[in-house]
Structure 1
Amino acid sequence: MPTPRETILTALHARLSALPATALRGEVLPDRVPSNGLLILRDGEPGDPEVTLSPLAYHYQHRAEIEAVVQSADRDAAFDTLTASIGSALAVDRTLGGLCDWVEAQAPRSVDLPVEGAASLKAAVIPVVLHYSTADPLG
């Protein structure tokens, strides 16, 4: 049986997989970026939880990351469309079907990356904070 953390990350990946861009989890950047963009979900860090004792619960603000990458002649517009679609996908249900208390993306930190002999890449890391509680710090 998967832990709550794994269940939440799997649900987040499924939400990203519903977007037109190719969504991967924990993979390395492939040699070619699909024309509709690429999203790579990184599991990130759960951080130190706040603890309540009665009943015992560990409250996390888990920081996952989404790497968003586009490569096209009009990369600025494509990147804007891709990041807006991530925001819209998360806003539909900020609890991922009741699996966590709240999901919120933070502003992307974008960078343009030149590619020799091809269109430049525009990429960003988009932090996503997952608020959830568990009864076990290993869960």
Structure 2
Amino acid sequence: MLTPRETILSELHARLSALPATALRGEVLPERVPAAGLLILRDGEPGEPEVTLSPLRYHYQHRAEIEAVVQGADRDTTFDTLCASIGATIAADRTLGGLCDWVEAEAPRPVDLPVEGAASLKAGIVPVVLHYTLSHTL
């Protein structure tokens, strides 16, 4: 049986997998970046929950990260399109089908990375805050 945290992260990965870019979870950056781009979901940190009593509830603001990577001559436009598609996917259902109270993607922090003998990469981390409540700690 999956924990609530794993269920939420699996659902987020499933939604990212529906995008044209290749979506991985917890993997290392492969040698080749697909033409449509690459997304790598990192589990991140659930952090310390806020606690309410009667009934006892633990309120998490879990910070996961999505690494977005593109390569090629038109990487600025491709990166922008990829990040916009992440935002649109999250905005389409901010509760991930009722698994979360709220999901919010933050702005990416892009960098250009030179690659010896190949086209440069444009990469960025898109922080995603997953707000959810549990009746027990993780």
Confirm or deny a common fold (TM above 0.5): yes
TM-score by length of 1: 0.98
Q: For residue 32 of structure 2, what is the aligned residue in structure 1?
A: 32
Quote the Cα distance in structure 2 between the aligned partners of 1:12 and 1:33.
21
Q: For residue 12 of structure 2, what is the aligned residue in structure 1?
A: 12
Measure how far apart 1:72 and its partner are.
1.0
Measure how far apart 1:3 and its partner are.
1.0
SS of match in other structure, 2:96: coil
Report percent identity of matched pairs. Answer: 81
- After superposition, the CA RMSD in angstroms is 0.5
Quote the Cα distance in structure 2 between the aligned partners of 1:57 and 1:86.
30
1:114 paired to 2:84: no
Quote the Cα distance in structure 2 between the aligned partners of 1:136 and 1:38.
35
1:125 paired to 2:125: yes
Which 4+ runs in 1 deviate beyond 4 A?
none
Q: For residue 3 of structure 1, what is the aligned residue in structure 2?
A: 3
SS of match in other structure, 1:126: strand
TM-score by length of 2: 0.99
Q: For residue 102 of structure 1, what is the aligned residue in structure 2?
A: 102
Quote the Cα distance in structure 2 between the aligned partners of 1:90 and 1:48.
24
Query: What count of residue pairs does the alignment treat as equivalent?
Result: 138
